Structure formats: structure tokens, C-alpha cells
A and B are shown apart, each in its own frame.
Chain A
Amino acid sequence: MRARSRVETRVDQILRPLGNPTIKYYLTVAIAGAGLLWFLLAWAWQLKYGLIVTGLGDWGTTGGVPWGIYIGSFIWWVGISHGGILISAGVRLFKLKVFYPVARLAELLTVGALTIAGLFIIIDLGRPDRVVVSVIRNYVLTIQTSPLAWDLTVITLYFIMTATYLLLTIRHDIYVLRRRLPARFAPVYQLLTNGYSPEEDEKVSRMAWWLAFAVVLLAPFLLHGGVIPWLFQLIASMPAWYSAIQAPTFLSIALTSAFGSVIIISYIFRRLYGWEELIPDKAFRRMGSVLALVGLFFLWLQLQAIMTGAFAAPVGVRTATEAKMEDPIYWTAIGLVIAAVLYLGAQTIWPALFSMKRVVLVSIIPVVATLFEKTLFIVEGLANPLFDIYKAVPGHYIPTWVEISSIIGGVSMLALWFAVISKVLPIIEVEAEHEGQEE
């Protein structure tokens, strides 16, 4: 009897967000909607006049930098999307129970962030209208040589996999909760649970396991430790990029920003819906510890890059490294990550140092710092090409309001995504079997 009532309360709690919207909810949606609208206006402006409305320019005689915030944001969002699915896959593959309550949040983050990342590629293009036709037309050829074609392919594949994964695991919950979900979304539920029967659960969980397994392999090997860094590390004309260390560095940054954002989003939901029981402090403490670890990994790789670039490097590499080291933004970003790692590491060792607020505040740091780091990586790399004899090299880049609006737009889109999805679907898994097993 006691166990049963416990399950009930848990379900009650899970269903909290699905109730009628509050004023606060409307306010959030309004603000995020305004942010998105603002960005759409900026984008329309860009579509009308061309990329000339950005701060970008050609490198060489022009004195510009051809990629900037858009590509930086693209990598950043892919990075965030990454960790999300890795957390959830970790739960499934390695039975990391502490992360169980945030697994679905992380999956939703993956799908949302990946969509936004894809959008940033489109925003960066001079002719977004052509992308589908042009890419398909010579795909057989380009897939053999173009890292950008690889990226488009792997991201599409990754999107399909995570969406399938999410769908598979959510069908069970919708079925179990079908009587208690808001009736107005009934068609959505019907669609999602189409053909579902409880007997499929076992098969589905095996499928989900294999999908999780594939994602765990795919993400580090092919995506953030693969085609995304390859976009840069294979380019010999830019010495700052041309280094085999990019792949692990990218992966460390992805994990850092991903864990940071899962902490932030979980905390927001916990605050909003009083989910102290569902997402206990312990989950945050552990996530903080993991964040400290991946942050340390990131710092270690930065050290490798700087040592190699500064000691007795070939001229091009040295110039690029010097440019990086002279940049206050770089050191600010690194300094912030160091501070975050120090605190998160300390709270791992001395639990007395742990406080919910502090962990969350400190988690914001690496998330923001990685966006700066990524954009800087792109811009500094392109500003210091190998062939630097031009008068106008190193190039300059000052982002315009259009580009800065895109950051606001991206964040607003994610907020809207969560606002909408949390009203329709249970964002924490119901599955009772894990309940009793918690330590």
C-alpha cells in the first residue's frame, strides 16, 4: 500500500507542468516569443540585404573574417545537444541512477539544441533557399570529400536517432498516463502511441538500449569528436585549426557546455514545479562533479595547445597562438572555467561546500564561456591564416546587431521548445521500477 501511494505522488508531481498555464508561464512564453520575433526580423533583414548586414568579410586583401558568431553558435548548440543524449544514454547503458530523473530533460534538450544548431548553418549561408536542391544534386560526389557534407549527413542521422530514441521511450509513459493527460492534446497522444501495446515494452527497451549504444559511439567518434572538429582541423590554410587536438578539445567543450546546460534547465524546472523530491540535490552534486571533470579535461587540452603553439612552433602556428594568448576574451573565458572547475571540484571532495544555488550559478559560467571560446576559435583562426603577407591580415570582426540577435533568437527558441513540450508531454520518466531501487 505504501509503495503504491508513493508511485501515485510521484506521478502527481510529474504531471504538475501539464496543468493549466499560470501567468508566469504566459509571461515566459511572451518574453521568449518576443526574443524569437526579434531574431526573425533580424534574419529577414539579412535575407533582404545579404550577409553584408553582418560584420563578416573575406580574408585576404579585404581584412575580414568569413565566419563568426553563426558558426560559433552552430558548434556550441551541437555541443549542448550532445551531452544531453550522452547523459541519457549513460543512464540506459551504465545504469547511472543519479541521472535518471534528468534523462528525458536531457533528451529533449538534445532534440531542441540540434534543431537550433541546424538552423544556424542555414542562417550562415548566402543562399539558404538553395540548400536542399544543391546539396542533393551532387551529394554522391560531395560526401566523398566535403567535411560540410559529412556534417550535414551526420547531424541528420543524429537527429533521426535521438528523435526515435525519445519517441520509443515516451510511448510507454503516455500509455500509462493516458487517462490523466490533458484531453485537449488527445490527438497528439494518439499519434505518438499509435499501435502501442504494453507487450512491446521489452522489445522497445532493447531497441532503446542499442540506440543509446549507437549514440554513445556516434557522438564522440563521429560527431563532436569527428565531423564537427574536422570542419576545422583538416584545414591546413588556418594554422590555429590545423591540429589533431581539435577533436578531443571539441568533445571536452561539448560535454562541458552540455552538463552545464542540463544543470541549469533541471534547476529551472525543479524550482518551477517544486520537484525537490524528483530531482534531488544529489543529482546536482553529481552533475557538478562530472562538470568539474570535463572542465578539467578541457583546460588540460588548452594547456597542450598552448604549449605546442608557443614553445618552438612553426611560424604560422606561433602567430596564431600568440594572437590567442593576447586576447583578453580568451583569458576571461579560461579564467572563468578554471574558477568553475575549482569550485565544482571542491564541492565533490568536501560535501559541506555544496549548495544548490552555488552549483547552478557556477554551471552557467562554462556554458557562456564555451560560446565565447567557440566564436573566438573561429574568428582568431580565420584572422591568422598561414598566408599572412597581406596588409589587411590579421582580419577584423565586429559582430553586428543582426548576429547578436541570433544568439537571443537561439536561446528564445530553446525556451519556447521547453515551454511547449512541458505542457504536452511528461518530461520526467514515470517508470516506477527505478523508484524503489534508489539508494
Chain B
Amino acid sequence: MTDITTEKARIGAPSAQPFINGFTEEGESLSPLNAAESKSPLAGEAVKRHSHGGGVGVPDSSRAGRLTSYKLADFKPLTGMEEDWRFTPLKRLRGLHADVLNGAAPSVAVTGPDSVRVETVGRDDARIGSAAIPEDRVSANAWENFTEATVITVPAEVQAEGEVSVVLTGQGTGASAQHVVIVAEKFSKAVVVLDHQGTAVVSENIEILVEDGAQLTVISLQEWNDDAVHASSQQAKLGRDAKFKHIVVSLGGDLVRVTPSTRFTAPGAEAEMFGLYFADAGQHLEQRLFVDHAVANCKSNVLYKGALQGRNAHTVWVGDVLIRKEAEGTDTYEANRNLVLTDGARADSVPNLEIETGLIAGAGHASATGRFDDEHLFYLMARGIPEKVARRLVVRGFLNEIIQQIKVPAIEERLTAAVERELAATEN
């Protein structure tokens, strides 16, 4: 790809500055007020009923200072001017940010190994709120409105054979709220697939608890119908030596906005966060992730790749990585790469790395948006490869790096086929 801008930075040397020049494109810096704030917005029951951060007079500039609350009323109505909503066309949210979410929520069908427990519980279940707290109005709106939750538990030390499949099927266009809790208990191991299908207008909260020594993979597939609107907050809380892999795949839907986060609460944990998105004409696919290095000696690695084609295809990737003062020995890298296949498509890519301690093993980011370029096409065609095949070869190769991470053969095949369909769609 030519016309690529790539920034790479890895630092190991201590730095006196809380914020290193050139590490964010947005120029966000840490508010001194927030720097002294709590370690984690999730301090347990105590914070459950009131809000944190972003209070009066506190500029919401650092990710550490973002308002978090279980109460919708704590979040001001959206105007579209907010930093975390500035790319989202609010009109197309179809009420997820403003209406009471009382439409029928997508149905939930869970299949998988017998060793994994599946329950449907009411709002008062103790596990609700154990891993997540809303960070924006749409998520809080779902929290306020969901009627029942699905809780999936991988019991301690269980190694679940085969994946746990959670099929969420949309029930129409009434604005709705969904809640799912996934708990990987100590030293368990499992793969959970959230499979979003059909037509829905839904705000969803997914809580993910990865306890000490557990290894959990969560794959969230968005293969909605064209008219679906989906906001999904997927928050993971990691215990000591936990290993968490999160993969977001957004292909279908009119507007899909996924906000995954990983919070480290004890040392020795590792998180990998991958994403793949393919936006067609008119689609808005947004992903905003957050990695909160709140404790020492944890690792994170983030890679999101997107392809875009057609008029007004729009993708947004924002990657916030926060290395707090306590998080010495952190090793983190985040990258986003976009491949723009046609004119009229737009990819926004914003990596934000905030570093409050210099005593880290490494921290870096890269962001690149390239066009599928005439020189690539010429080279491949000069070897006899027809134009259509050449395009497929490039896009398939580009996205395959993420698909390979899934390691569930049936899903890998399904996604490869889905990408082929996306490519075939523009050729007509």
C-alpha cells in the first residue's frame, strides 16, 4: 500500500512526562485532577449506585476521567459533540440514546459443552455489575431497561471442549436492551461465540469476568441484516495471570458501534484484542476500545483491520490505551489498518496512548490507512491474474490475519465466505 502513514513507537526508557508527544493524534492529555483518581472505575459494590469521574469542573480529556455510572440520568443527553460520539450519526441510532428501550430484545439460544452453566436471571442477580459499568449514555440506557440477563459460567478448572455458541437473533426494529454476563472461573478455559443475526435495534451490555488463571476467548460476530442498529459495550475484567482474547467481527448492519474494554485488576494477565470489519456503501461500523493497565506487569496486544468499499461506507476505530502510574512493567502494542477499496469511503483511525509511568517494558501504536492501489493491481495483473481475482487476493490476504486468530474452523470458513460475498457485492 502506498500513501500509508504509519507511526510506530516503542519506548522502554523512563520518561518524566505523563504524556509523550506524538503518542496521540488527538492531543489528549491527562488531567492532573483525574490522575489522582481511583485506580479502577470498578471498585465493587460501593460504586455501583453512584457515578465516578467526569464530574463538574473535571475535563473529560483523559480516558481515566471518563464518567461511568449505572444510572442513565447521570449521562447528559447526547448532542453529537461529545468526544466519544463525534463520529457517530446519532439520527441513525433509532432511539438507542434517547428512548425507553422496551422493544423485544434479541432471543438468546446457547449451545455448547455440558460443563458450561447457562442461566437466565433477573436484574437483581449478584453477578450483574461484577465486571462492567456503563461508560456512555447508550450503554446506561440498556442497563436501566433490560429485564432479564443471560449468565454463562465456565466453572472453576473446567476446560470446555468445543465452543459455547450464543446466537442472538433480532426480533425487529423496536429499540431494545440486552444483557449477557460471561464468567470464566479460576483456571477454567473456554471459547464463547456471540453470534448476532437478524434485524434488531439493540443496546447491549456484555460483562466478561476472567478470574485468576482462567483463559477465555470471546468472539463477537455482527452479521446483522442491513437495517440493524447495534451498540455493544463489552467490558472484561481480568484477574491474576488471566489470559483473555477478544475478537470483534462486524460485517452486517446499518450502524454497529462496539466498545470493548479490558481492565487489568491483578498482575500477570494478558489480553489480545482483535477486530475485523468490512463496510459497504452507507454502512457505519465503529469500534472504540479501551485497555486499562491499572496494575503492574500485564500485557496487551491490539490489532484491528478494516476494509471499506462503496459510497459513504464509514468506519471508525479509536483505541484508547491507558498505562496508569501503578502499571510498571506494562507491555502494550496497538495497531489499526484500513484498506480503502473504492472512492467515497472513509476510515477514521485514532490511536490514543496515555502513559503515566516511564517504567514500562514497551508501549507502541500504529495506524495506517491505505488505498488498494493501482500499482498493486498492475503487478498482479501483469502476472496474468484478472482484476477481480487480484482484488480478492489482496483483501482476503489483508483480512486473513484476523480470521486466522479465531481458530474455530467452522467460523473461520463462515467468515471467509462472508468476506467473499462482500467482495462479490461491489462487482455488480
Chain A partners chain B: no
